[in-house]
Amino acid sequence: MPTDFYKYHALGNDYIVIDPNKSALALSEENIRLICHRNFGVGSDGILFGPLLEAGGMRLRILNPDGSEAEKSGNGIRIFSRYLVEAGYVKGKEFSLITAGGTVAVAVLDGVGGLIKVDMGAASFSSADLPASGPAREIFGETLALGEAEYTINCVSMGNPHCVIPLDDISRETAERLGPLVENHPLFPRRTNVQFLKVIDRANIRIEIWERGAGYTLASGSSSCAAASVAHRLGLTGPEVKVHMPGGVIDIDIRPDGHVFMTGPVTGVMTGSFAPDLRRQVGLGAVKQ
């Protein structure tokens, strides 16, 4: 049987890698939804499609479970970097990767890709970079009405959009209740990722995450970068922060030039072949004997 996919997780945020150099799968929106579905497909928080080998380097496409495409994913980048190491696409411990949200620099901190650091670029608080509706401005400390209550929001782009909401108490229930309202708010014409932030001390924060196109998520690399950037700008933390999430902890280091470095683990889960029924559904046809 051919290997159709490679599955990993980064603190419980799981992705399927599909390599176009090894698979003839056409990634239509319908196919993406089916493969990511946890009852009818393999099940994942998204698909990492690549590497697409170009003159400028290796490009990664990040596909959400609803069929939409994300500009950037911190956990996805770390997972895909481990795949590149294991598949032999990269030999050294440092390399770059092209995403729709910009080129990132990757450093493998061990021999197998189990611990990876990524330069996620500089955080931007400009509404134009999210994007957000209304006049050009920094959306920081603005008030947003959600239902019958108002919340203070702080928006930041890490190459993909984020809306960070500091609260005294955060929970999965809060993320699942308010997350969809923020994600789909008219303020964000391309929708947004949402983080609910609680500051523990100057070196630790905790977040609950609602991801655009994916829903409630146990961990997120770009969300960790965004939340840490907001907490640091508010003066509530130093530049080095541990971000605690339901799936585990990511280390964030905010440099003086504004670049945000993220360090976290990657765990292999499985490699697999689609069963004949699923192969037919996604248009791969029968396996040649």
CATH number at 40 reads: 3.10.310.10
Q: Residue 142 annotated as binding?
A: no
Residue 115 pLDDT greater than 60, yes or no? yes
Count of domains for the chain: 2
Q: Structural domain of residue 193, as residue ranges?
A: 122-259
Q: Residue 288 has what pLDDT?
A: 57
Question: What is the rounded distance in angstroms from the CA atom of residue 45 to the CA atom of residue 83?
Answer: 17
Q: Residue 75 annotated as binding?
A: yes
Q: Residue 69 annotated as binding?
A: no
- 251 lies in the same domain as 130: yes
Q: Residue 29 annotated as binding?
A: no
Q: Residue 222 annotated as binding?
A: yes
150's tokens: 């108002």
Q: Residue 193 annotated as binding?
A: yes
Q: Residue 1 has what pLDDT?
A: 75
- 137 lies in the same domain as 49: no
SS (H, E, C) 240-277: EEEEEECCEEEEEEECCCCEEEEEEECEEEEEECCCHH
Q: List, for residues 134-177, the tens digit of each pLDDT value.
A: 999 999 999 999 988 999 999 999 999 999 999 999 999 999 99
Whether residue 142 is contained in a domain is answered as: yes
- 223 lies in the same domain as 249: yes
Q: What is the DSSP string of 79-92?
A: HHHHHHHHHTS--S
Compute the mean pLDDT over every residue in the chain, rounded to the nearest whole number: 96
Type of residue numbered 60: L
Q: Residue 184 annotated as binding?
A: no
Q: List, for residues 60-93, the tens digit of each pLDDT value.
A: 999 999 999 999 999 999 999 999 999 999 999 9
pTM: 0.95
Q: Residue 141 annotated as binding?
A: no
Q: Residue 211 annotated as binding?
A: yes
Q: Residue 21 annotated as binding?
A: no
Share of the chain above pLDDT 90, in %: 93
Whether residue 289 is contained in a domain is answered as: no
Question: What is the rounded distance in angstroms from the CA atom of residue 107 to the CA atom of residue 92?
Answer: 9
